């Protein structure tokens, strides 16, 4: 008897990894390791007689503090003779779409304190803050990599803040300064969405 296909798609656990096309693998490698803190865990090796991409794989740390097989991969665009120089300046990232493609990648830190340290580190390295937003479910800083890929640097707020009304939490945005010391401040009294007689919930330490 043939297998009967299900009538609906199975819910996935989530996005497993993202692959970014980059102009210069070495420059992007330096950014994703030195600035973003990922570890390079693998690289595509050449195989005689086969055309393979110039590609590396990067991991953060999972909940147990272990590396994964990869969270981000970088693939260098080959320079083809007669085509435009791939080293030109990328367009400035903006949240409002201007073309089809990836808008941004969200990278999470495990808690508020590690996020605050990373944000301060980014500022100390001269990384421009393009947006600074307290969302209803995350507190976030938006930056860009050397190829103009948008990156959301975030930590998640407790589920009690947003799980009762995800739509309302998604539509909440407190826009904050991207310049000076104000860009490094982080409030801990978070509004709660969808809960009767809602009271602020503090960000986890």
| Digit-coded pLDDT (tens) for 166-198 | 999 999 999 999 999 889 999 899 999 996 654
**83 pLDDT tier (thresholds 50, 70, 90):** very low
Q: What number is the average pLDDT over the span 11-17?
A: 91
pLDDT, mean of residues 12-23: 94
Give the residue from 29, 44, 79 where a domain finishes.
79
In the prediction, which pLDDT does 146 show? Answer: 95
Query: How many DSSP H helices and E strands does the chain contain?
Result: 4, 11
Range of the domain at 138: 101-205
Question: Given pLDDT bands bounded at 50, 70 and 90, which one contains residue 97?
Answer: confident
Q: Given its phi and psi angles, is residue 188 left (phi above 0), alpha (psi -120 to 50 degrees) or beta?
A: alpha
Q: How far apart are CA 6 and CA 108, in angstroms?
A: 34
Phi first, then psi: what are they for 3, rounded to 5°? Answer: -65, 135
68 and 117 inside one domain: no
Q: Kindly state the percentage of the chain with pLDDT values over 90.
A: 73
Query: Do 108 and 33 lie in a common domain?
Result: no
Q: Which helix (H) or strand (E) holds 101?
A: none
């Amino acid at each position: 008897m043939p297998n009967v296909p299900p009538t609906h798609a199975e819910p996935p656990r989530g996005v497993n990894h993202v692959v970014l096309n980059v102009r210069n693998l070495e420059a992007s490698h330096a950014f994703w390791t030195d600035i973003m803190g990922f570890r390079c865990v693998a690289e595509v090796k050449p195989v005689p007689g086969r055309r393979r991409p110039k590609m590396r794989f990067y991991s953060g740390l999972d909940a147990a503090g272990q590396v994964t097989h990869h969270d981000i991969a970088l693939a260098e665009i080959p320079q083809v003779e007669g085509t435009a120089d791939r080293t030109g300046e990328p367009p400035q990232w903006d949240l409002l779409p201007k073309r089809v493609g990836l808008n941004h990648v969200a990278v999470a830190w495990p808690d508020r304190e590690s996020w605050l340290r990373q944000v301060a580190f980014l500022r100390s390295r001269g990384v421009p803050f393009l947006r600074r937003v307290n969302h209803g479910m995350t507190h976030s800083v938006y930056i860009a990599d050397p190829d103009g890929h948008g990156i959301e640097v975030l930590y998640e707020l407790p589920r009690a803040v947003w799980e009762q009304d995800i739509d309302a939490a998604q539509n909440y945005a407190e826009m904050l300064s991207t310049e000076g010391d104000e860009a490094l401040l982080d409030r801990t009294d978070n509004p709660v969405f969808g809960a009767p007689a809602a009271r602020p919930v503090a960000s986890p330490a």
